[in-house]
Amino acid sequence: DVYEGDARLPDGRIFKQSWIDHRPCIAVVPVNPEGRLVLIRQYRHATGGMIVEIPAGNMDRDNETVEACVQRELAEEVGFRAGRLIRLFEGYLVPGYCNEYMYFYLALDLEPASLPGDEDEYIRVMAVSFTEARRMIRDQQIVDAKTALGILMAREYLEGCG
């Protein structure tokens, strides 16, 4: 939902503000058994075309847990289920005008599990190494901030474990 109206600062001043009320959401960094990232190329009308992303989605089902949403989005967008989920981070995406809160996960021990995708999505799946993904971020082939953050956090976690 989109709103515009008066907002009050902690010191009592009032100003005009536009804001978006958004459901919580998830983003997941799937890593296949070969150690490659499973990414998606998704059509995003607001950006004017296809962009490379990690799977993500809204928690829009009644009583759905964060982990259940992660598993559902994995199955819908890349055709896998994670044997192991690791929470990497959670926080606000654009707090200047939206309360969208995102949970970031690393998905390991992937096994095939497919669900039909959403009607309004056009997605192509791709797998890349962490080295390729870092180059894609550097060369602006990945321009989605949640994707860059998720990849960097997943890499840091995995390097710390091995």
The question of whether 119 is a catalytic residue gets the answer: yes
Q: Which residues contact 49 (CB under 8 A, 6 or more apart)?
A: 43
Catalytic entry in 4, 34, 111, 119: 119
pTM of the entire predicted model: 0.92
CA 150 – CA 109 distance, rounded (Å): 18
Q: Which residue in 118, 121, 117, 116 sits closest to 44, CA to CA? A: 121
Please state the rounded mean pLDDT for residues 123-129.
95
Does residue 92 contact residue 99 with C-beta atoms inside 8 Å?
Answer: yes
Joined tokens for residue 123:
């997605």
- What per-residue confidence (pLDDT) applies to 162? 54
Q: Please determine, for residue 116, whether its predicted confidence score (pLDDT) is greater than 80.
A: no
